[in-house]
Amino acid sequence: MEKQFDQHISRQFNQELEMLRQDVMAMGGVAEEMVRDAVAAVMEGDTAKAQRVIDMDDQVNEMEKEIDEQSTMILARRQPTASDLRLVLAIIRTVNDLERIGDEAEKIARLAVRLADVDRPRGNYQELENMGNTVRGMLHDALDGFARLVPETAVKLVREDEKVDVEYEGLLRQYYTYLVEEPRNTSRVLDCIWIARSIERIGDHAKNIGEYIIYLVEGKDMRHATMEEMEKTISDSRS
């Protein structure tokens, strides 16, 4: 269910808030591109693509700083209340998670460069690609839910994150077995473990953005809440 906030008497205030939201979506688009290309660089052994991801991290960092500055100015000048204040605070939290997603994508890209110099396994890192596609889909859904103010997105992301966590634990068991059975490939396997860890963290950050949507729309802090508590909060607001 989508929700819209009321317009303000001040047209300039409306424009400031809309520009802020658009900047968040632009930053989210860059972060999503970084995740996609970082995982692709691992799969393809493409060091040029990996380097582009590494270079893009500076762009994400600058976007975070600019949005933080804009948010601070709005807080100081407009002294927003109620839903407007929640919007600005949700934006500040969201860009922090997007910046961390960029950091994790950069880590994956740097590891992709190292992996490009070693023998590739028979499975060609297929398990990492599957997990990477899942979290990229989570990030896309989180940004879409944030743009359209759909709190139900948070519940969907919690379910997806639980699947990613199970997949991650399975990958760790598989990689630890490789460490024992193929000690000559220890360096490559350890790099894969770190890539899987970064992918899992990206899923965590996407889930966080979903929680901010509930805070933004319903005014309830859902950090550390269970899925059942999220569902009840959303259901109560609809009744």
pLDDT in tens, 220-231: 888 888 888 888
Q: Where are the domains of the chain?
A: 11-238
If pLDDT is split at 50, 70 and 90, which confidence band does 166 have? very high
pLDDT at 4 over 70: no
pLDDT at 223: 84
> Amino acid identity, residue 1?
M
Mean pLDDT score of the chain, rounded to an integer? Answer: 92
For 237, other C-beta atoms within 10 Å of its C-beta total 15
Per the rule left: phi > 0, alpha: psi between -120 and 50, beta: everything else, 116 is alpha
pLDDT score recorded for residue 74 = 94
Q: Per-residue pLDDT averaged across 36-60, rounded?
A: 97
Lowest mean pLDDT among 82-86, 105-109, 140-144: 82-86
| CATH tag, 11-238 | 1.20.58.220
Give the model's confidence band at 120: pLDDT under 50 very low, under 70 low, under 90 confident, else very high: confident
**Residues contacting residue 139 through CB under 8 Å, at least 6 positions apart:** 28, 31, 32, 35, 101, 202, 205, 206, 209
Instruction: State the pLDDT at residue 121.
Output: 74
CA neighbours closer than 13 Å in the CB half-sphere of residue 24: 30
**SS3 (DSSP) at 4:** coil
pLDDT of residue 8: 52
Say if residue 6's pLDDT is above 60.
no
pLDDT digits (tens, 9 = 90+) for 180-231: 998 898 999 999 999 999 999 999 999 999 999 999 998 888 888 888 888 8
Residue 119 has pLDDT above 80, yes or no: no
Q: What is the pLDDT of residue 7?
A: 53
What local confidence, expressed as pLDDT, does residue 1 receive?
46
Residue 36 has pLDDT above 70, yes or no: yes
Segment 22-39 shows an average pLDDT of 98
- First-to-last alpha carbon distance for the chain, in angstroms, is 13
Q: What are phi and psi of 124, to 5 degrees?
A: 55, 40
Q: pLDDT tier at 19 (50, 70, 90 boundaries)? A: very high
**Phi-psi group of 211: left, alpha or beta (phi > 0 → left; psi -120 to 50 → alpha; rest → beta):** alpha
How many CB atoms within 10 Å of residue 53? 26
Distance CA 106, CA 212 (A): 24
